[in-house]
Structure 1
Amino acid sequence: MDLLAYPDTTSLLLPVEDTEFLLREEMRPIRFALEFAKADLALKDWGVRSTVIVFGSARIRSKEAAAQAQDNAKTEEERKAADNLTRHTDYYEVAREFAQIVSLRGGAFAPRHRWRENVIATGGGPGIMEAANRGAHDVGAPSIGFNITLLREQRPNAYITPELNFRFHYFAMRKMHLAMRASALAIFPGGFGTLDEMFELLTLQQTGKALSAPIVLFGSSYWKQVINFDALVDTGMIARADLELFEFVDTAEEGWASLVRRGLTSAASPRE
């Protein structure tokens, strides 16, 4: 059919071809379903059955990046910002090492049949997210990035497996994909976004709305300074048993050992 012969062709477009129609407010449920289906089918095509989620600050940088920031700093404000970057670089290195260990020992290389287990997955951005994707990339393992469209655009880091590099509009759908196949959670120091993700997943575990998955909080001194978990127990806001949902660790090996001891199923990789 020659659509050019008609003065108004919008109604003749197939719905999947009509962007204006798809972006109507009334079509939000359909867009929500599409965001779920696109990532879900891609992950199934890759044989990803379970993931280890790594959360943490986008502001933490590698030692190289922090050193470069110090070299480039010209004002007092820039020097203070560079000093802050330098103070936290150890977390970047631990996250990178942790992702290497998980990728090698967890089953990301699909040693049995077609299914990959414990594949590293992050929010796809810089900082701790980059470190975790980079660790998987170091050992040749696939890793996932669940990016989000923001006003100040978040760029996907360079270490995500290209076919597993997703972008979401809806925070809720992104969080669902982060949670729904997670076999374990590793949470590094971070700000509002990290705290939001951490407490949402702790709540899902506490209420039994998600399958049990071990959780580790990297950086014991940071977390004990930022959140007084004991005060939540002392004031009766949570039960003492709720503190058993997670453990504090400081090194990559401690993190892996904690996850395995508390239920993470390991599948040794032929690459190890």
Structure 2
Amino acid sequence: MRDEYWRGAQVRRGKLIPSTTADTKLLRETGPEAAWTKTDPWRVLRIQSEFVEGFGAMAEMPPCISVFGSARLREDSPYYAVAREIARRLAEAGWGVITGGGPGMMEAANRGAKDADGLSVGLGIELPHEQGLNEWVDFGLNFRYFFVRKMMFLKYASGFVVMPGGFGTLDELFEAITLRQTGKVHQFPLVLVGREYWDGLVDWIRGRLVAEKVIAPTDPDLIGVVDTADEAVAYMLNNLPPLQVDDAGTSGAN
């Protein structure tokens, strides 16, 4: 059993560690007694509170870039050093760095931001197997619900750097692509790092989705694909709006 468990703003230890997550309870099938009539209305208020807490905390943040990637690729992965370098250089250019706050690629990006004395943000999630924020997060928020957390990633970032990752990374990637494709966000660069890792997916998008006419021929151009930290940083900075510095020395996206 783990020693510590995060549930929203709560920290639970020992016998108080729950056996299921808030998302699991929300999505669980309802019983014949229609117990949901007693619980779901209150969950709406809890969900609302997460939005209010997130919006209130993140609204004061300077312009940021979200960095996504696997929690399972640790420091011995070559991608770790690349993610750290990308985040360091983005922070040096004045951008804050937002991650999921966990280990692996998220830790690497938070660590890189700290290397440059930049803003390092972690948006954690209640999961059965991944808990707590990495030690390089300056400002952290913990969420019960994936969809609230994902809103914070999207609303308070000016672009995405996507390192190699699994289902969670793909979920975040395609959410961002959909928002670009549908015009919900503008001037929102998105770059995949690691050609060997991503080329099969990109080839499938171009060769299958375009061929079947389920996306426009220009839609794949919404995604950049690079190999190195130099290429990733150049792609982002060339496609991001310029940062403006006010009289108080605070930076903001134009």
Q: TM-score if structure 2 supplies the norm length?
A: 0.76
Which structure has the highest helix share of the two?
A: 1
Query: What residue is the counterpart of 1:152 in the other structure?
Result: 129
Query: What residue is the counterpart of 1:203 in the other structure?
Result: 178
Rg comparison, structure with higher value: 1
Aligned mates of 1:61, 1:265 — CA distance in 2 = 33
Aligned mates of 2:89, 2:174 — CA distance in 1 = 25
| Structure 2, gaps ≥5 residues long | 1-37
Could you tell me whether the CA contact under 8 Å between 2:102 and 2:130 is conserved in 1? no
Query: What residue is the counterpart of 1:121 in the other structure?
Result: 98
1:139 maps to a residue whose letter is A
Residue 267 of structure 1 and its aligned partner are, at CA, apart by 5.9
Q: 1:97 aligns with which of 72, 76, 85?
A: 85
Q: Does 1:222 align with 2:197?
A: yes
| Structure 1, gaps ≥5 residues long | 1-22, 64-88, 108-117
User: Per-residue displacement from partner, 1:197-223 (whole Å, max 9, x unpaired)?
Assistant: 101110111011223301110001110
Higher RCO (Cα < 8 Å, 6 or more apart):
1
2:108 maps to a residue whose letter is A
Which structure has the highest strand share of the two?
A: 2
Q: Does 1:43 align with 2:58?
A: yes
User: Per-residue displacement from partner, 1:154-202 (whole Å, max 9, x unpaired)?
Assistant: 22111100xx211101111000000012111000111111111101110
Query: What residue is the counterpart of 1:136 in the other structure?
Result: 113
Aligned mates of 1:214, 1:266 — CA distance in 2 = 15
Q: TM-score if structure 1 supplies the norm length?
A: 0.72
1:198 maps to a residue whose letter is L
Q: Does 1:179 align with 2:154?
A: yes
Query: What residue is the counterpart of 1:32 in the other structure?
Result: 47
User: Per-residue displacement from partner, 1:34-80 (whole Å, max 9, x unpaired)?
Assistant: 11121222233xx31421000011111113xxxxxxxxxxxxxxxxx
Query: What residue is the counterpart of 1:55 in the other structure?
Result: 68
Equivalent residues, number: 208
Residue 226 of structure 1 and its aligned partner are, at CA, apart by 4.0
**Aligned-pair RMSD on alpha carbons?**
2.0
Aligned mates of 1:205, 1:50 — CA distance in 2 = 18
Aligned mates of 1:241, 1:145 — CA distance in 2 = 33
Residue 237 of structure 1 and its aligned partner are, at CA, apart by 1.9
Aligned mates of 1:135, 1:267 — CA distance in 2 = 23
